[in-house]
A and B are shown apart, each in its own frame.
Chain A
Amino acid sequence: MSRPLLHVRDLTTTFTTSRGEVVSVDRVSFDLERGQTLGIVGESGSGKSVLGRTVMGLTSAAPNATVTGSVLFDGVDIANPDKKTRAQYLGARIAMIFQDPLSSLNPVKLIGVHITETLRRHDKSLSRQEARRRAIELLDTVRIPDPARRFGQYPHELSGGMRQRVGIAIALACRPQLLIADEPTTALDVTVQKHVLDLLGMLCEEQGMAMLLVSHDLGVVAGRSDKVAVMYAGRIQEEAVSSDFFRHQRHPYSQALLDAKPHLENPARAELVSIPGRPPDPAHRFPGCRFAPRCRFVQGRCREEEPSLESGGIPSHGAACFYPLDAVRSTQEVSI
């Protein structure tokens, strides 16, 4: 068996803030195979974005952050990268795209320069002309019409969808093996979102690139990922192969998350089953399952012991729950 591209074990990110220690990502473990897409879904404060940034090696540089555990990328631990590793991996073998395509581009820099500087950073022998040629090629790859003209424009001269394409082109510059997409379509209109997701899917396929697709929206991840991990309060609560996950959820939180959203497939005026309360304050941890205070199926044990992510019988479908919903919804389909 070949080793996975990304092998994450007990990854924990802690921030020291004025309100005390905040554990944003708490003992998270997962594997990602080459060329595969893992969707990471959670609400705000679930730690999904911090997880993405930590895998990228971006949080460990913050003065108030501590990262423990391991992130093995192709066998090399990059959880706390030194300067050399960072230079070798960041932007070259692992790349990232961000939520807001406008604010993640430097407003005073030409579109083209964003790309050429990445190219030349990781390949010092590249000439200016060659970098320019490659940048225009990349803009073309992400289906930006008239790439040579766009090369010489500023970010504010492009539409939101175009800007996100530029973000993708920058990320692709050095043909990374792993792309971390942090809410890549949240700031975009729904028609543009579809284009961008299609583009990402195709590029992964063409270039054999693996992707961590981070989103608050299960709908964005559905149909676009091989595996899904649902995060809540810093922990992965459920992890499964997508086809399996969307057929039935084992963790009450995952199910509640799906039920709470007014899907277009639901009949008009449908009553929504909402989740009462709100996510726990990450600065105030309590014993037991983190979802227990909001869970419909809570039992005494849930408030005392913390369940770990275990696959209960069904292969590769883990749920951090003492009383998973196995039998309840095995046949019910959410999709049309």
Chain B
Amino acid sequence: MKAAAGKVAQLLVVMFLVSLGTFSLTSLMPGDPAVAILGDNQSPEAYAELRDKLGLNEPLVERYFTWLGHVFQGDLGTSMVPPNEDVTSLIGSAFAVSIELAVLALVVALVVSIPLAMISARRPDGLLDRAASATTFGIMSVPSFVSGLVLIALLVNQLHLFPRVGWVGVTDGLGQNLYHAALPVITIALLEIPTFTRVLRGDLVRTLQEDFVLSARAKGMPAWRIMIFDAFRPSSYSLITVLGLSLAQLIGSTVIVETLFSLPGMGRLVVSSASQGNITVIQGAVLVIAACYVLINAGVDLMYSVIDPRIRRVGA
């Protein structure tokens, strides 16, 4: 219990530092927000007035705490670019898209890579292992815009299986939503499958040499059962680490895939805001992404202790 409280306190400190860093870094970004908003052919007075209105003339620390106070109320401010939307809802809808893409892609990647890794690990350097290794290596070396384009050419243009572009939210029907999400999800999953497969295969091969696997065989357990019930769980630590990292990364940086399929996700939001000097949006987005990193890391730690009773006891 004490350990859990310590963990939470640690998380809060990290979050505080992250918000501080986010805020000051974006304040240091080149370019004048006033110019960004008004365009570059207005009078100096107009810029000054706007800066004042935006509170840009206050000291940095004061601005930070004002901003933080609003953040706590769920208010990330308004966009600096017309039509000056509410940043919270702007990020909210983009985040929903990104998280759905990321989670679905990871699920697909796991569904493919876990069995693939198990098949490979059964006979290391066997025919299946080498075939799987060659395939994953091949996939790994194809950039996502190429694989995405190939998928589009094949599944959209030739077979007409999926829509070309666009996004339909879950609120407009799950079927349509998944139908539109399918191609980008597959494109992202292809990126992750090689890593997942390799990491898990390596750990499985090592675990399968452990004495407890031999002793499970001596108990008469069939090979597939040993693989799933004995070897998998103790072999999943690295996979979980990689999974956490991927999830955090996917939330903010799938710009290529989002662009390719015209999806309104976090990546495109951040990129377009950055090019417009839309500081409030960038601040909000970076904060949300950073928070995801922190929470996902905490989640990964928690998973370790769920999987491994030895870690569990240390925390207790």
The interface of chain A, by Cβ under 8 A from chain B, is 53, 56, 58, 61, 63, 83, 86-87, 89-92, 95-96, 98-100, 103-109, 117-118, 121-122, 154, 156-157, 167, 170, 173
B212 / chain A contacts, CB cutoff of 8 Å? 103-107
**Is A154 a contact partner of B234 (Cβ separation < 8 A)?**
no
**Is A156 a contact partner of B210 (Cβ separation < 8 A)?**
no
Known: A103-B212, A106-B212, A121-B221. A156 touches B310 (CB 8 A): yes
B216 / chain A contacts, CB cutoff of 8 Å? 106
**Is B234 a contact partner of A91 (Cβ separation < 8 A)?**
no
**Is B215 a contact partner of A96 (Cβ separation < 8 A)?**
yes
Whole-angstrom distance from the CB of B129 to the nearest CB of chain A? Answer: 11
Known: A98-B211, A100-B211, A103-B210. A108 touches B307 (CB 8 A): yes
B310 / chain A contacts, CB cutoff of 8 Å? 107, 154, 156
Q: Is B218 interfacial (CB-CB < 8 Å)?
A: yes
Residue of B whose beta carbon sits closest to that of A56:
B218
A96 / chain B contacts, CB cutoff of 8 Å? 215, 218
Q: Is B233 interfacial (CB-CB < 8 Å)?
A: yes
* Cα-based distance from A182 to B220 in the complex (angstroms): 17
Q: Is B130 interfacial (CB-CB < 8 Å)?
A: no
B222 / chain A contacts, CB cutoff of 8 Å? 83, 87
Q: Is B160 interfacial (CB-CB < 8 Å)?
A: no
B234 / chain A contacts, CB cutoff of 8 Å? 106-108
**Is B219 a contact partner of A98 (Cβ separation < 8 A)?**
no
* Cα-based distance from A142 to B106 in the complex (angstroms): 46
A167 / chain B contacts, CB cutoff of 8 Å? 215
Which 6 A-B pairs have CB atoms at the shortest separation, nearest pair first?
Answer: A91-B220, A91-B219, A90-B220, A104-B211, A96-B218, A103-B211
Taking a contact as CB atoms closer than 8 A, the residue among B214, B218, B307, B313 that contacts A95 in the complex is B218
The interface of chain B, by Cβ under 8 A from chain A, is 123, 126, 210-212, 214-222, 229-230, 233-234, 307-310, 313
* Cα-based distance from A167 to B310 in the complex (angstroms): 19
Q: How many contacts between A and B, using CB within 8 angstroms?
A: 75
**Is A90 a contact partner of B219 (Cβ separation < 8 A)?**
yes
A104 / chain B contacts, CB cutoff of 8 Å? 211-212, 214-215
A58 / chain B contacts, CB cutoff of 8 Å? 214, 217-218
B219 / chain A contacts, CB cutoff of 8 Å? 90-91, 95, 117-118, 121, 170, 173
* Cα-based distance from A92 to B39 in the complex (angstroms): 83
B123 / chain A contacts, CB cutoff of 8 Å? 63
**Is A92 a contact partner of B308 (Cβ separation < 8 A)?**
no
Known: A63-B126, A87-B222. A107 touches B309 (CB 8 A): yes
**Is A108 a contact partner of B218 (Cβ separation < 8 A)?**
no
**Is B221 a contact partner of A117 (Cβ separation < 8 A)?**
yes
Taking a contact as CB atoms closer than 8 A, the residue among A56, A63, A154, A173 that contacts B309 in the complex is A154
Whole-angstrom distance from the CB of B17 to the nearest CB of chain A? Answer: 35
A86 / chain B contacts, CB cutoff of 8 Å? 220
* Cα-based distance from A173 to B221 in the complex (angstroms): 14
* Cα-based distance from A56 to B212 in the complex (angstroms): 15
Residue of A whose beta carbon sits closest to that of B226:
A106
B217 / chain A contacts, CB cutoff of 8 Å? 58, 61, 90
Whole-angstrom distance from the CB of A234 to the nearest CB of chain B? Answer: 21
* Cα-based distance from A66 to B74 in the complex (angstroms): 68
A108 / chain B contacts, CB cutoff of 8 Å? 233-234, 307-309
**Is B220 a contact partner of A106 (Cβ separation < 8 A)?**
no
**Is A156 a contact partner of B309 (Cβ separation < 8 A)?**
yes
**Is B233 a contact partner of A98 (Cβ separation < 8 A)?**
no
* Cα-based distance from A173 to B123 in the complex (angstroms): 30
- Could you list 14 further interchain pairs (A-B, Cβ under 8 angstroms) beyond the known A56-B218, A105-B212, A108-B308? A63-B126, A90-B219, A91-B218, A95-B218, A103-B211, A103-B212, A104-B212, A106-B212, A106-B230, A109-B230, A117-B221, A117-B229, A118-B220, A154-B309
Residue of A whose beta carbon sits closest to that of B216:
A106
**Is B220 a contact partner of A89 (Cβ separation < 8 A)?**
yes
